[in-house]
Amino acid sequence: MLNKRLYTFIVSSHAGARLWRLSLPYPLLIGIAVFAVIGLISAGVATYHYGRMLLKVADYNHLLAENDSFRSENHNYRIQTAQLGEKIDFLETLAKRLTVYSGMESERSVGGVGGYSKDAFTQPLPSSAGTLQAIDSYNKSVSRLEDGYRKIEDNLSLQALVKSVTPDRLPVRGYITEGQGMRRDPFTGASREYHTGVDISAPLGSRVIAPADGMVIFAGYRAGYGKIVVIDHKFGMITRYGHLYKFNVQPGQRVARNDVIGYVGNTGRSTGPHLHFELWWHNKAINPAKFLAGVRRG
């Protein structure tokens, strides 16, 4: 029968003539083959799972390393955002002071005390440090600071501009002989008239300078004033310089403070060499002495 068949395996050695014979029945041979196949499959499966386990272990170790790195980065990030918050607080305080120094707010709006200590850096960071909520708050603070500093810059620029176009000195070296206001007619001595400016006595030919930046809007002859120069200083400020011997500028010309615009004369309705100086603000004659430093009366 088939099950009683024997299969003989002969093994010989090249070193000698000895032979080894192994006879196995067919069922046993089949069983050995089956076990061998099962063993190979089991070894393959075990090797596959072992390889997957090694990959998982490697991934786990990699995740642990990344987690440690993220934890370190997060800690540094929280420290940096906390320091950013302190800088923003400092800049907000500084901006508040600048608004006061620039005249935008009253001094009473600035108050309080504070400061930093080294102990603050050893204490745990607040839980909010480094969070999206804190970052959003910082972004809003930065936007508010940018807007505040822009307003301060604009205000300071405006102040600098106003200062540059505001007369702050006599346009000629001399003495004020007649102020602004009601006076007797210098020619008749009888009737009273309103003197719209100040008269500054100075030698004939003395240099007349612009007391502030501006643009010449008239340079010519007018009745009563004689040869006159008119300068527009912006913001409603206009100055007039009358009785000149001659002028040194032309209409449309821009002048800077201390530029020579003319020379003292005796033209027009004048009793002698002097400069008639007027200062108008929004079409109203005002006393130039309010804007002049070191004014002396003759």
Question: In the prediction, which pLDDT does 209 show?
Answer: 96
- The label of the residue with tokens 């002049």 reads 292
Q: Phi first, then psi: give them for residue 113, nearest 5 degrees.
A: -130, 165
Name which of 165, 206, 169, 196 is nearest 289 in CA terms. Answer: 169
Partnered with residue 221 across adjacent β-strands are: 227
Phi and psi angles of residue 74, each rounded to the nearest 5 degrees, phi first: -65, -40
Q: Which residue has the tokens 């007797």?
A: 184
CB 255 within 8 A of CB 213: yes
Sequential pLDDT tens for the chain (298 residues): 445 677 777 777 666 667 777 777 877 778 888 888 888 888 888 888 888 888 888 888 888 888 877 777 777 777 777 777 777 777 777 777 777 766 666 555 444 444 444 454 445 545 555 566 777 777 777 777 777 777 877 777 777 777 877 888 889 998 888 877 677 766 566 677 777 888 999 999 999 999 999 999 999 999 989 999 999 998 888 999 999 999 999 999 999 999 999 999 999 988 899 999 999 988 988 888 766 655 444 4
Neighbouring-strand partners of residue 149: none
pLDDT, position 186? 66
How far is 236 from 213, CA to CA, in rounded Å?
A: 13
Give the pairing of strands 198-201 and 226-232: unpaired
Can you name the residues that pair with 11 across neighbouring β-strands? 20
- Specify burial of residue 52 (Cβ count, 10 A radius: 0-12, 13-18, 19+): exposed
Nearest CA to 163 among 258, 291, 48? 291
Q: Cα(211)–Cα(232) distance, rounded to whole angstroms?
A: 12
Q: State how far the Cα of 123 lies from the Cα of 121, in Å rounded to an integer.
A: 6
Report d(CA 153, CA 157) in Å as an integer.
6
| Buried b or exposed e, range 186-210, using 16+ CB within 10 angstroms | eeeeeeeeebebbbbbbeeebebbb
The rounded distance, in Å, linking the Cα atoms of 104 and 99 is 5
